[in-house]
Structure 1
C-alpha cells in the first residue's frame, strides 16, 4: 500500500515537471486560481488574497502528510509555475481509486502542457501508488477539460445530477474514469 509520509516526489516530463507545492508558489498560484476563466470551473470558494492561497497550500501539504491528498505545481524548465494538478483524494484499501484535479494558466492553454502533466500524474497513480481507477470530475459545460480527459483515454461514465453545491446552487458534474487495464 502506498505511503507518502508527506513526501511528495518531483516528477519530470519532457517540457514540464511536477514539483511539490510550496508556500513560495502562493502568489503565482493565486493569480491562476483566481483568473476568471479558471475560477469559473473550480469547485471551491474564491480566494481573496495570495495569503489565502498560501493558507490553502499549507492545508494541502497537511493533507498530503495525512495521506488524504497529493498536489503538485506544474513548472516549465525555466522555473515558471503555470498551474497545479494532483489527487484531490485517493483510497487504496478496497477501492484502489483516486480523483484528480487540475488547473492551468489560460496563457498556456492549448499547448499540451496539461496533457503532459496529467500523463505524469497518471503514471505515478497507476505505477507508484498502485491505483486501479482514476477519476476526473468536471462541469458538463467545461468542454476543454472533457476533451483533455477523453484524449488521455478516460471514458465518460455519466452525469452525476446535482453533485456539487456552489454559490449559485446545486450543479451537475460529469464523471470520467480511466482504469489501469484501459492503458494496456
Structure 2
C-alpha cells in the first residue's frame, strides 16, 4: 500500500470521527441513536473504493476500541462493542467494502443513480443487515420488532446516501481517487 493510500485511509477515519461531533439523536423506540457517522461509511466506500474504504472504517473502529471518544456523544472504548448498537459498528467496514465494490464494478457507468445504488446497498442494506439482529439480541426484542423499529432510520439514511452519491460523483470527476479499471489489451 502506498503512502497516498494510507493518507486516504487516515483521512476518512478522521472524517468519520468528525461526523461524530454532530449530536446523536435519541430514538424513543430503540436503544440506538441516529448519527451522522454512517455518512462516513458511505463516503469511504464510494470515494476510496472497497479496500481503502474498508481499512478506513476498520482504523476508525480501532480508534474507538483504544478508548478515543470518537463516536457520537463522545463514546469510545471496548464497552461500545457489546450492546444494541454494536452490530452497527461491526457493519461499518463491511458497508464501506460493499459500497466500494459496487462503485468499482460500476466505474465506467458511475453517475448519480449508480452511485446512489451503491451507497444504499452498502451503506444502508449491509449496515441494517448486521445491525438489526444485534438490536434484537441485546434488547430481547423479536427480530421483526427490531426491524420495524429501525424504519425510523431510513429517511435520514436515504438523505445521507444521496449526499454521499453526489459527493462521490463530484470527486470522481474532479479528483478521481479510485483509479480507472485497466483497459483490456487492444487487439491488432
Could you tell me the TM-score, scaled by structure 2's length?
A: 0.31
Higher strand share: 1
Higher helix share: 2
Of structures 1 and 2, the larger Rg is shown by: 2
Could you tell me the TM-score, scaled by structure 1's length?
A: 0.32
